Amino acid sequence: MLARQLLLGAGCSLRRFSSASRGAVVVSTMQAIRAGEEDVRQRLAQINEEVQKLLALKEQLKQLTVDDDGSGETAAATPAPGKPAAASEPGNRNLSLKTPKGTRDYGPEAMALRQRVLDQVVRVFRRHGAETIDTPVFELKEVLTGKYGEDSKLIYDLKDQGGEILALRYDLTVPFARYVGMGNVFNIKRYHIAKVYRRDNPQITRGRYREFYQCDFDIAGTYDPMLPDAECVKVVCEILAEVGVGDFVVKLNHRKLLDGIFEACGVPADKFRTACSSVDKLDKTPWEEVRREMVEEKGLSEEAVGRIGQFVTLHGGTELIERLAADETLRSIKVAMEGLEDMRLLLQYCEIFQVADRVSFDLSLARGLDYYTGVIYEAVLLGGGGAGGGSSADEEITVGSVAGGGRYDNLVGMFNPKRKQVPCVGVSIGVERLFSILEARAGGKTRTNETEVYVASAHKGLHLKRLEILNKLWSAGLKAEHSYKLNPKLLAQLQHCEEYQIPYAVILGDGELSRGVVKLREIATRKEEEVALDTFIEELRRRLLSAA
């Protein structure tokens, strides 16, 4: 464009001069054109250099940000061309700060709520005589693979760190089976509360994360049919009732019965598990979509899938058991009859445990994990409401199942040197989903500490006496704290007590101390009373016990 303008200008000039002077003008004009073109080239080079710098910076930011594929790894930053690598220093402004996908931080109020729920869960576990264990957060990858069916792709693999191929644990059941088999444990009733990891598609509002807690209760050992299984159902009902998340139902089914139904419907034996994984989607997916998957993706015949559809839509109680037991096709299949007999016994025990109104025999329940061999169960909330019938806020909270489990009699033998089997049954509580519901419902400020008494001073020069009183309270087993300022204002100290909901304050003053007394203030009512210095700890303990 610049060259064209210069040429036009040169043409106009040439018309005004004689032929003798035109040559000089042409020469000077061509020099100007060349100078203009050089200037354009330099500007383009500068622009290109700046673009390259921006692209390099963009790539650097990408590598510093946790990737979205769930690997959770942060790559080293790539320096821009011609620039030295930036030192890894705290406060690097190029770092995009975020928690990895599918994770979150928990502040004091969230942790107070979580701890309360976990304490309630542990109380139920211990009420039923369970003892606790712990296992490594990562396992040999071969321990985990082949146990989770189609969900095996969600396992987090770890890089080789010295000859062992490892993966983060996907659940607590397989590590428990490895513990039992490897340690030659033949009977144990255990609970385990720990984090597990899945490269799943996170849904934060549904309490679905990639890092989350599981609370497992399992009974290992050879016992009479359905006695441990019924206790697991009872444990689930007690926990959900105690936590107070609202109405729920525990769906029950049996893997042997499902296998018998698949056989009766004409499904090849080698496709039982893949058919099971499709049926397991019925709680989230309409039957027509599941049917299409079974036919088009799993290769089952239209006729077989049509027969399956007639069964998996059924649910009920003992009347459904009798109806299935009378089915001519199922009666000829041994495993189906064994499953029905187990279900009949389980419902009888649930009646005795007074949870029959909380359970439903549901043939759509499949539980997609490969290791289940007998009874399976899953607890789901009924609607979004709480115990009081629910609110509009509750109705927006959809969390799906909140507990699940079943019998797995053949898993331990995979880890025993002599292949000795130890029958097991257990349940896992989806506490993250419970947390999501309770956190959304929480109203007002949640107390985040357990401090029972605050030691305050009314004026300057009493910090040494505060420390003395504080030490006496700690030695007496009371939960106490004070200000870390030498001479704090009394109003600020009392406001701290109110903000953190500390029930009592002991206020020290020279006048009171000279008379051998202190002021004991009840924070909620702001009432103060003088108490003898020698007996104020006993008086404080008495008041705390009466308020408990």
pLDDT of 424 above 70: yes
Q: Consult the annotation and say whether 307 binds a ligand.
A: no
Rounded CA separation 117/244 (Å): 10
Model pLDDT for residues 351-361, shown as the tens digit of each residue: 999 999 999 99
Query: What digits encode the pLDDT tens for the residues 323-342?
Result: 999 998 899 999 999 999 99
What's the pLDDT score for residue 134?
Answer: 96
Please write the tens of the pLDDT for every residue from 234-248. 999 999 999 998 899
Q: Where in the chain is the domain with CATH 3.40.50.800?
A: 453-547
Q: Is 367 annotated as a binding residue?
A: yes
Q: Mean pLDDT over residues 295-313, rounded?
A: 89
Query: Residue-wise over 391-412: b if at least 16 C-beta within 10 A, else e?
Result: eeebeebbbebbbbbbbbbbbb
Amino acid identity at 254: H
Q: Is 545 annotated as a binding residue?
A: no
Per-residue pLDDT, averaged over 24-49, amounts to: 69
Convert the pLDDT of each residue in 280-297 to its tens digit: 888 788 888 988 999 988
What confidence category does residue 73 fall into, taking pLDDT thresholds of 50, 70 and 90?
A: very low
- Give percent of the chain above pLDDT 70: 83
Q: What CATH number belongs to 453-547?
A: 3.40.50.800
pLDDT higher than 90, residue 481? yes
408 assigned ligand-binding residue:
no
pLDDT number for residue 399: 55
Would you call 247 exposed, middle or buried from its count of C-beta atoms within 10 A (0-12, 13-18, 19+)? Answer: middle
Residue-wise pLDDT for 1-24, tens only, equals: 444 554 445 454 444 444 545 555
pTM, rounded to two decimals = 0.77
Q: How many CB atoms lie within 10 A of CB 306?
A: 13
- pLDDT value of position 212: 93
Give 89-130 pLDDT, tens digit per residue: 555 667 788 999 999 999 999 999 999 999 999 999 999 999
pLDDT at 391: 41
Query: Does 249 score more than 90 pLDDT?
Result: yes
Question: If you ran DSSP here, which 8-state letter would residue 46 be given?
Answer: H
Interior/surface letters 173-192, b for 16+ CB within 10 angstroms, e for the rest: bbbbbbbbbeeebeebbbbb
Q: Where in the chain is the domain with CATH 3.30.930.10?
A: 108-383+398-441
Average pLDDT over residues 43-55: 77
User: Does 273 count as an annotated binding residue?
Assistant: no
372 marked as part of a ligand binding site: yes
Is 330 part of any known ligand binding site? no
CATH number of 108-383+398-441: 3.30.930.10
Asked if residue 342 belongs to a known ligand binding site, the reply is no
Query: Which segments within 156-199 are labelled E, that is strand?
Result: 166-168, 188-197
For residue 135, say whether it is annotated as part of any ligand binding site.
no
- 432-446 pLDDT per residue, tens: 989 988 988 887 788
